[in-house]
Amino acid sequence: GAVVSQHPSWVICKSGTSVKIECRSLDFQATTMFWYRQFPKQSLMLMATSNEGSKATYEQGVEKDKFLINHASLTLSTLTVTSAHPEDSSFYICSARSGGGSDTDTQYFGPGTRLTVL
Amino acid sequence: AQSVTQLDSHVSVSEGTPVLLRCNYSSSYSPSLFWYVQHPNKGLQLLLKYTSAATLVKGINGFEAEFKKSETSFHLTKPSAHMSDAAEYFCVVTLYSSASKIIFGSGTRLSIRP
């Protein structure tokens, strides 16, 4: 099946620093990737849709200057949390869509990245 | 507008007994429906998906789900629970658009009693 990886799996950083998270589709090309945030014991919240070669589309309430997304190739999207603060601590999950862009496509999820900001 | 409702936030069953996780959806057209499983501190793994083919869908690890249009339901079942099935389960529906965003249910935590 389709495999999506994320790196790092966990990161601890000081307040005010920036953290980059990578999301890769290992065995398929993904024109669209998605970034989610998950709070403890809650469902996933879509942050943004990442399109290869164009600007990301952010959901309402998500600061695009704080969460920078770059989709440089068909297999790699990155999320950079800039000037991280403790309230940014969370579990970040990416997904990559496999398919031609129809509503029957399947999203395959990465294993997630646990970010802790001290 | 599309939406998905998972009727139970927590389900607890004994090992070896059947599992039923309920999901109802709302959609103005025939949706694509998915079930994902998430183990603690892990990403989501696709269990199965329905995309307007056979209404009874078989997935991995012995799970299956039946799409019932008349009841707008897509319940997940397994004949015999295993301890390793303990996890969070999400029912998901796809939005009808080229962006193909998906809508998550609130999740059901499945506990297995020895």
Tens of pLDDT, residues B35-53: 999 998 888 999 999 987 7
A75: left (phi over 0), alpha (psi -120 to 50) or beta: alpha
Residues 6+ apart with CB under 8 A from B67: B33, B50, B55, B56, B57, B73, B74
Chain A residue with Cα closest to B33: A104
For residue A103, what pLDDT is reported?
60
* Interface contact B104-A44, CB threshold 8 A: yes
Does B53 reach chain A within 8 Å, measured CB to CB? no
Looking at every residue in chain A, the average pLDDT score rounds to 90
pLDDT confidence tier of residue B98, bands split at 50, 70 and 90: very low
Nearest CA distance, B12 vs chain A (angstrom)? 16
Contact yes or no for B102/A107 (Cβ under 8 A): yes
Does B28 reach chain A within 8 Å, measured CB to CB? no
Please list every residue in chain B whose beta carbon sits closer than 8 Å to the beta carbon of residue A108.
46
- Out of B46, B51, B95, closest to residue A108 by CB: B46
Tell me the HSE value of A50 on the side-chain side, using a 13 A CA sphere. Answer: 29
Contact yes or no for B110/B97 (Cβ under 8 A): no
Q: What are phi and psi of A32, to 5 degrees?
A: -130, 130
For residue A21, what pLDDT is reported?
97
Q: Across-strand partners of B65?
A: B57, B76
